[in-house]
Amino acid sequence: MSTALTADDLAHLDDAEVYQRLAAAKKAVARDLLRDPVTLARGLERVYRVRPHLRVIAQALVVLDRGEYDRLMVWTPSQVGKSSLAAEWFPFWWLCLHGEDRVVVTSYSDDLAMQRGKAIRRYIGEYGEEHDLEFLAGSSAAQDYDTTAGGGVHSVSIGSGLTVFDVNLLVMNDPHKDCADAESQRLREHVHDW
């Protein structure tokens, strides 16, 4: 059964009813996009390229959200879309579902962490309103911003202090800058201890 409105249907409605139905349809589409982070990314940015392995990662992120496990490690070769999905679209998706949560995005360098935080900030600015996600007045910093729902994003390098920042979701992307760092027992322990 189709619920689409025809031109004849619209002709019998007053303007207020038409706008109300259009707003309801827009909300329904926005809710449908929240099935998983890949669906959200593809639905909002037509240039986002969905590959089969990204669907697998997205489903694992959905299971993480359901609480079936409390941490997830994703290992892929470089340049396959993992970081864009897991460190940018996933935190945005999470905030759309849990607007009150505090998200920390971290990496081996401030620059890389801030790059991820800026991407999430852009998604909130461009698409957040559809999901009742807006910036709190005065939240203008690229690396640390709050939402009106009480949540927010903080972008830091590994090793930076987080003692005054509540964390509901921690996304660690590229904890090591290269293979030599990743193979160093001391540096691995530093990341683990942090």
Q: Determine how many CB atoms are found less than 10 A away from the CB of residue 27.
A: 13
Alpha carbons within 13 angstroms on the beta-carbon side of residue 139 total: 21
Kindly list the distances between the CA atom of residue 168 and the CA atoms of 78, 138, 175, 186, in Å, as whole numbers in the listed order: 27, 22, 19, 28
User: How far apart, in whole angstroms, are the C-alpha atoms of residue 55 and residue 67?
Assistant: 19
The dihedral formed by the CA atoms of 70, 75, 79 and 81, expressed in degrees to the nearest 10: -30
> Can you list the pairs that 77-84 forms with residues at least 24 positions away whose Cβ atoms lie under 8 Å?
80/51, 80/53, 81/49, 81/51, 81/53, 81/54, 82/54, 82/57, 83/116, 83/173, 83/174, 84/41, 84/119
CA-closest candidate to residue 158, choices 178, 172, 144: 172
Q: Determine how many CB atoms are found less than 10 A away from the CB of residue 5.
A: 13
Three-class SS state of 10: helix
This prediction has a pTM of: 0.84
Query: So what's the pLDDT on residue 7?
Result: 67
Query: So what's the pLDDT on residue 193?
Result: 86
Task: State pLDDT tens for residues 56-67.
Answer: 999 999 999 999
User: How far apart, in whole angstroms, are the C-alpha atoms of residue 111 and residue 191?
Assistant: 17
Query: So what's the pLDDT on residue 147?
Result: 92
One-letter amino acid at 126 equals E
Query: So what's the pLDDT on residue 69?
Result: 93
Q: For the chain, which residues score pLDDT lower than 50?
A: 1
Kindly list the distances between the CA atom of residue 179 and the CA atoms of 172, 187, 188, 190, in Å, as whole numbers in the listed order: 17, 11, 11, 15
Query: So what's the pLDDT on residue 1?
Result: 44
